[in-house]
Each structure stands twice: as structure tokens, then as C-alpha cells.
Amino acid sequence: MDEQFDNIARYLDGEQVELTDEQRRLADEIRADEASLSGALDVEMPARAMRNVRRRIADELAPPRGRRRLFYRVATSAAIAASILLATALLLRLPNPTQTNPETRHGALAAVEFIEPLQDQTDIEIALLAGDVERLEQEVLLDSGPEVEEMELESLERDVDEFWLDQAAPMEVLLPSS
Amino acid sequence: MELQPLREIIAAAQSGSAEAYDVLMDRYGRRLYGYFFRATGNHHDAEDLLGELMLRLVRRLESYDDRGRFEPWLFRIAANMVRDRIRRVKTRPRMASLSVEEDGGLSLGDKLAGDGPRVDANALAAELSEDLQRALNRLDDATRQMILLRHFGEMSFKEIANVFNAPLGTVLARVHRGLKSLREIMGSSDNG
């Protein structure tokens, strides 16, 4: 029986297959049933749906803009500022004068004596600036909170979608096991 | 006007042309929408799935290598999405919504609005469409999908057999049985 159905399927797919009268009758019946359904199955697509889908495509193709762009810019600036502060702090703390060569120790001590008050002042400024950077980051995160969450959610959904696309088992899971 | 070759459209879309995606929407949007609508039974899901599919296309079209036919590739993705949606719906409790339609594409809100009986040609077509939808819903998921992929995806039996990883004869037998059931159900609803 399977072989008969195979033949009919190949015939209906346009292959040159010899069919028996019974097979040809079945093939004609399937053709007629499909033809009678064709008009009835079609559905009018609402214009609103078409517009919405086109808008989603345009959004997907468009580069990041508006608040997202502002967020990226502020976040980048904050990261650069933090890096500069860190580099400055490291520079001011090196070298350690107790480990320097005795010949240069006097000069180094003099430099340290000169730098120390400045360093105390710098530490305070670093702390204040770091506080500002942190506050700024918090504000940006709070301001764009839902958007950030949305982006993360979108990213997760995309990952899941792509996983299904790649890993989806063949459709035989829909077929009841015989 | 001569139609732009599909290969050119796909190449343009692969390079990020918004116009190319518009052309793809013009060519396949309605058929995909019809497929999603008949597979899920409501307009809300159909629009949502079509939007999702087009976004996947934007993200994944690069991986399409043009060795096979584009339509079966597209409808295979659509079929996987429907399968996932069906699976999700089956494992999730159902909630009543005013915007989400029941079978036949009518939302609860539409029904509550109580327009009364509709007697024009559109109403008759809508009624026939709803009857057909109910009949489709009575088929098992795989058979319904196969019939819809034949019609909307214009897929051969061989291509459907590949999608379902099933023998060719099995696909034909299912489609045949499904079409026969639809004919009987529709026939009995015409008489009743």
C-alpha cells in the first residue's frame, strides 16, 4: 500500500510514473479535493497587520537611535572616565619610595613630600568623581531601565528562537507513533 | 511589468535593503499570513507569527545559500514556528481575552459587541471560512499542517515528507484522509 501511495505522490509531484486505474482515480480525487479547498482556505490579510509587520521589519533594520544611542554614548563616556580615573590613581601610587635606590631616595622623598598633599586631595577628587560616575550610571540605568530589560529580553528571545530554528527536531514529533 | 528575479531580491535583502524585504512581504506576506491564520485559528497569532518570521528572516537570511528553493525553506521555518506555538499553547493554561480571537477569527470582544446576524455576501463567506476553520481544527496537527503546506507553501509531497521526516506514502495517505474528512465535515455542515 505504501508503495502505491509513493507512486501516487510522485505522480502528483510531476514525475513520470505509470499508475494503475485505481491509483489514477485516487490521484484525481486528491487533486479535486485540493482544488475545491483552495479558494476557501485563502484569508484576507488585514491592512493593519501588513503595516505592523512592515514596521517591525523597518525597526529591525534601522540602526539604534534616540534613547538607545544616548544610553550607549553615556555608558561609553562613563567607562572611559572610569578608566582614566583608575589609570591616574595607579600613576599617583607608584613608585613606592621605601623601595627606591638610596642614591635617589632623597629626591624621591622630596617628590613624595611634594606629591602627598596633592595625592590626598586627588584621592578625595577621585572618590567624588567615582561617586559621580556611579550616580550617572545608576541614573542612566534607571532612566532606561525598561528599555535595557527589553533589550535583554529581546536578546534572550532571539537566542531561544535561533536555538529552536537550529535545533528543532524534524516535524515527525507531530506524527503519532505507529 | 516584469517581476524582479527572486535571487536578486534575496541578494538585496541579504545586504540589508529595506525595499527588498518589502518586496518579499508583497510576494509571500499574504500566503504566510493565511498559513499562520489557518494553522492557529486566529488573526492575532497570525500577525504575531508573521512578524516573528520576518524578523527571523532579517537575522537569518544570510544563512540561506540559494541552493534549494526559497519557498520551502521559508515555509519550513513557518511550520517549525507553528509547531512550537502549538506545543506552547498545549502546555499553557488558556485565558479568555477580549482581543484574542476564538476559532474562526472572531474575538470575544467582537462577539460581545453583538452586531446581530449578518446577511451579506461577506458574512456568508465569513461563515464558510469559520466552518472550514472548525473542520481544520478537528484534524490532527500533522495532517492539518500537511494540507496547509500543500496549499499555502505550494510544497510538493516530497518536500513535505522532508519537513516531517516521514515516508512519502505516509504523507500522501494523511493528506488524502485529511482532505476526505474536510469534505465530509464541510458537506455535513452545508446540509445541517
- Predicted confidence (pLDDT) at residue B101 exceeds the cutoff of 80: no
Q: What residue numbers bound the domain in which A142 lies?
A: 65-164
* Res. A83 pLDDT band, cuts 50 70 90: confident
Can you give the pLDDT at residue B192?
Answer: 53
Considering the domain architecture, whether residues A79 and A32 belong to the same structural domain is answered as no
A176 falls within a domain: no
* Res. B152 pLDDT band, cuts 50 70 90: very high
C-alpha distance across the termini of chain B, in Å: 47
Q: What pLDDT digit, counting tens, does each position of A84-111 carry?
A: 888 888 877 766 555 556 555 566 566 6
Peptide bond into A95 cis (omega under 30): yes
Considering the domain architecture, whether residues A89 and A160 belong to the same structural domain is answered as yes
Highest-scoring range by mean pLDDT, A39-48, B82-91, B110-119: A39-48
Contacts with A105 (C-beta within 8 Å, 6 or more apart), sequence order: A97
Which amino acid belongs to residue A34? E
B154 falls within a domain: yes
Can you give the pLDDT at residue B96?
Answer: 47
- Predicted confidence (pLDDT) at residue B168 exceeds the cutoff of 90: yes
A121 falls within a domain: yes
Q: What pLDDT digit, counting tens, does each position of B18-28 carry?
A: 999 999 999 99
Flag if B33 and A168 touch (Cβ within 8 Å): no
Q: How far is CA A141 from CA A67, A68, A149, B132, in A?
A: 11, 11, 10, 51
Considering the domain architecture, whether residues A95 and A153 belong to the same structural domain is answered as yes
Residue of A52, A56, A171 to mutate for B, most B C-beta atoms under 10 A: A171
Q: How far is CA A13 from CA A17, A36, A79, in A?
A: 10, 18, 61
Question: How far is A172 from chain B, CA to nearest CA, in Å?
Answer: 5
Can you give the pLDDT at residue B62?
Answer: 83
Can you give the pLDDT at residue B110?
Answer: 47
B36 falls within a domain: yes
Q: Which of residues 28-57 of A touch B (CB under 8 A)?
A: 29-30, 33-34, 36-38, 40-43, 45-46, 49-50, 52-54, 56-57
Considering the domain architecture, whether residues A31 and A93 belong to the same structural domain is answered as no
Question: How far is B121 from chain A, CA to nearest CA, in Å?
Answer: 14
B118 falls within a domain: yes
Can you give the pLDDT at residue B37?
Answer: 96
Considering the domain architecture, whether residues A82 and A147 belong to the same structural domain is answered as yes
A151 falls within a domain: yes
What would the DSSP string read from start to end of chain B?
Answer: -PPPPHHHHHHHHHTT-HHHHHHHHHHHHHHHHHHHHHHHS-HHHHHHHHHHHHHHHHHHGGG--SSS-HHHHHHHHHHHHHHHHHHHHHHS-----SSSB-GGG-BHHHHHH------SHHHHHHHHHHHHHHHHHTS-HHHHHHHHHHHTS---HHHHHHHHT--HHHHHHHHHHHHHHHHHHHHHHHH-
The count of domains in chain B is 1
Q: What residue numbers bound the domain in which B104 lies?
A: 6-191
A153 falls within a domain: yes
Considering the domain architecture, whether residues A30 and A73 belong to the same structural domain is answered as no
Considering the domain architecture, whether residues A76 and A150 belong to the same structural domain is answered as yes
The count of domains in chain A is 2
Q: Which of residues 95-134 of B touch A (CB under 8 A)?
A: 105, 128-129, 132
B21 falls within a domain: yes
Written as nine digits, the cell of A165 is 530554528
- Predicted confidence (pLDDT) at residue B119 exceeds the cutoff of 70: no
B109 falls within a domain: yes
Which amino acid belongs to residue A92? L
Can you give the pLDDT at residue B98?
Answer: 47
Query: For residues B81 and A104, what is the distance between their CA atoms, to the nearest angstrom?
Result: 74
Chain A partners of B38 at a C-beta cutoff of 8 Å? 41, 43
The dihedral of CA B102, B108, B113, B116: what is its sign?
A: positive
Beta carbons within 10 angstroms of residue B69's beta carbon? 14
Contacts with A46 (C-beta within 8 Å, 6 or more apart), sequence order: B43, B47
Q: What is the mean pLDDT of chain A?
A: 75
User: What CATH number is attached to the domain comprising B117?
Assistant: 1.10.1740.10
Give the residue from chain B lying closest to A175, CA to CA.
Answer: B142
Range in B12-16, B25-29, B35-39, B158-162 with the lowest mean pLDDT? B12-16
Q: What pLDDT digit, counting tens, does each position of B35-92 carry?
A: 999 999 989 999 999 999 999 999 888 888 767 789 999 999 999 999 999 888 877 6
A78 falls within a domain: yes
B1 falls within a domain: no
Which residue matches cell numbers 584621592?
A: A123
ipTM of the complex: 0.79
Share of chain A above pLDDT 70, in %: 52
* Res. A56 pLDDT band, cuts 50 70 90: very high
